[in-house]
Each structure stands twice: as structure tokens, then as C-alpha cells.
């Protein structure tokens, strides 16, 4: 069976190292967040507390605060350096008077937040770095209040399919991270207790002049290969050239494609049902006011 497991400590180290230059290369990440905000525009919600889970360098924070002016925001990320970059974007007065945000360095699979404490959990391109979608969705469900909303994006299995195929010409080791199918994520939402999950997907294709440019971009955003079964050590020159030759076969109009399968999802935490242990339901009856 193909392993989806990632080395979480390597994930942390990768993003710690890339934090300073992350924004220069995170074009796709900003575009996906923008498309999530378009979806959020269609939702009627008035949160008082919200979470940006996997907040990175803080791109979504200002827009979440601007949209929900009365809400307090928790920006949470596994990499401390990412949070420090986000904090550095604030001006002096904002740092002194900013009472609407907290920054927390923590693991999404073990949130240091109280049960039923949030009305909105937002997570853009973060959960693909985790091992168990069931675990993180249970955590999101735990911290949300009844009728709270989870909105997220992730990468699907066809992400970087060209690069994966090129390295497959070299050996059977996973050189590209594995990503979970949209339908499996939807099932995990239901298993975690969410109701009415809505999933959709689109493919975004970036183009590069050569394979090395594509890999430089991945390195710049911290998207190293963090699969547990990944190849250790540097690849030899001859092996890398074989991978390059395989990738070159995909060149169209002078460019090499890099496909990203972007998965979007949102779901609600349902209000608890009133009832008895034997299955009988409680129906609330309120007399009409005279």
C-alpha cells in the first residue's frame, strides 16, 4: 500500500528554513486563498472568534479581520519562523493596539484551544502536510461551536503528476509528496461529525522554463519531499538527468507544465440533537404569542 505518511519534524524544518523568502514564491498559495475568499463571500456568518489553521506568513489574516471586524483571530502554524514573518508585517501602532489577534505555534492535529470556542476555522493549503485527515478534522470539529463553519483547501493526488512521473523513471522511491483524494477528504469530514460537506476541485497549471526552476519554487515555499519513505541523500547527476529527460517529453510551447490539483471543502458542525437514549426525539413546542 502506498504511504501518505509525512515526517512532521521535517515539515517543520522545511517551513522554518523557507519563511524569509516564502512570500516571493507563494504565488499559487495566494491565488488559492483568494479563491477561497470568493467562496466565503457566499456564506452568511458572523463569528466572534476564528482560527487560521496553518496561517503561514499571514496572508489571510488581514482579510479575515477586515471581513469580520468584531471577531478575534487565532493565527496558528507549526513553524515559528512563519509566524514571526507574519508579525513583522504589522506596523508599530498595529503591534501596540492590535487586540484582535493571537499567534500560536502548534500542531494542527493537537490544537491547544478549548472545545466549542470558535465559529470559523479557515485552513488554506495546510492539511496536506498532515498524516491523518480524520485526526485534524476531529480537532477542527472539537474547537468549533455548534453551527460553526470549517472552510479549507488542500492538494489532491494529481498534484505535480508530471514531476512524479519524471522521477519514476529513475527509481521507485517517492520523490514527490502524496496527496489524498477529494472523496476521501469528504468521507473524513463526515466521520469527524461534520454535516453537509461540500467538496469541489480544480486543476491549476503553472509553467516553467526547466525542471530545476520548478524545483527551486518548491524549495522556496518549503514544499520539500517529506514522505516517510523518501530517498535519503542527494540524487546522482546521471539519475537527475534521466528525470529531466523524462520531464522534457512534456514540453509544450516552450514550457514545462506543473499541475496542481486544488481541493476545496467546507462543512458545518451541526447543533446537537435533542433526544433520549432509546432514540426518541424531543420536539420543542412554543405556544404562539397572543
Give the CATH number for residue 100.
3.40.50.150
| Run of H or E residues at 242 | helix 237-248
pLDDT above 70: residue 165? yes
Instruction: Give the burial class of 168: count Cβ atoms within 10 A of its Cβ; 0-12 exposed, 13-18 middle, 19 or more buried.
Output: middle
Residue 166 included in any domain = yes
For the chain, how many residues are written? 290
Residue 114 included in any domain = yes
* Residues ≥6 apart with Cβ < 8 Å to 19: 57, 79, 81, 82, 84, 85, 222
Structurally, the chain folds into a number of domains equal to 1
Which range of residues forms the domain containing residue 176? 8-268
Residue 288 included in any domain = no
- Give residue 22's Cα distance to chain centre: 15
What value does the mean pLDDT take over residues 31-39?
98
Dist CA 279 CA 290 (whole Å): 34
Residue 62 included in any domain = yes
Residue 186 included in any domain = yes
Q: What is the per-residue pLDDT across 216-271, written as a single tens digit (0 to 9) for each?
A: 888 887 665 444 444 444 567 888 899 999 999 999 999 999 999 999 999 999 99
Percent of the chain scoring above 90 in pLDDT: 67
Residue 100 included in any domain = yes
Residue 1 included in any domain = no
Question: Looking at residue 44, what is its pLDDT?
Answer: 94
Residue 68 included in any domain = yes
Amino acid at each position: 500500500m502506498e504511504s501518505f505518511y509525512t515526517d512532521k519534524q521535517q515539515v517543520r524544518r522545511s517551513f522554518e528554513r523557507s519563511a524569509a523568502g516564502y512570500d516571493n514564491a507563494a504565488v499559487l498559495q495566494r491565488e488559492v486563498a483568494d479563491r477561497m475568499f470568493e467562496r466565503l463571500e457566499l456564506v452568511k456568518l458572523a463569528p466572534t472568534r476564528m482560527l487560521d489553521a496553518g496561517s503561514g506568513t499571514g496572508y489571510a489574516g488581514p482579510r479575515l479581520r477586515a471581513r469580520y471586524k468584531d471577531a478575534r483571530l487565532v493565527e496558528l502554524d507549526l513553524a515559528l519562523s512563519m509566524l514571526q514573518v507574519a508579525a513583522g508585517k504589522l506596523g508599530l501602532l498595529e503591534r501596540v493596539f492590535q487586540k484582535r489577534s493571537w499567534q500560536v505555534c502548534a500542531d494542527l492535529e493537537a490544537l491547544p484551544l478549548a472545545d466549542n470556542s470558535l465559529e470559523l476555522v479557515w485552513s488554506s493549503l495546510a492539511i496536506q502536510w498532515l498524516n491523518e485527515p480524520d485526526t485534524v478534522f476531529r480537532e477542527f470539529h472539537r474547537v468549533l461551536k455548534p453551527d460553526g463553519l470549517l472552510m479549507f483547501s488542500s492538494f489532491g493526488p494529481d498534484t505535480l503528476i508530471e514531476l512524479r512521473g519524471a522521477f519514476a523513471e529513475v527509481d521507485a522511491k517517492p520523490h514527490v509528496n502524496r496527496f489524498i483524494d477529494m472523496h476521501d477528504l469528504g468521507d473524513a469530514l463526515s466521520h469527524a461529525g461534520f454535516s453537509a460537506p461540500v467538496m469541489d476541485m480544480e486543476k491549476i497549471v503553472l509553467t516553467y522554463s526547466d525542471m530545476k526552476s520548478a524545483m527551486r519554487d518548491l524549495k522556496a515555499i518549503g514544499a520539500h519531499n517529506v514522505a516517510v519513505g523518501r530517498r535519503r541523500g542527494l540524487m546522482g547527476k546521471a539519475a537527475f538527468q534521466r528525470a529531466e529527460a523524462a520531464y522534457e517529453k512534456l514540453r509544450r510551447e516552450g514550457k514545462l507544465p506543473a499541475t496542481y490539483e486544488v481541493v476545496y471543502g467546507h462543512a458545518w458542525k451541526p447543533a446537537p440533537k435533542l433526544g433520549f437514549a432509546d432514540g426518541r426525539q424531543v420536539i420543542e413546542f412554543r405556544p404562539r404569542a397572543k
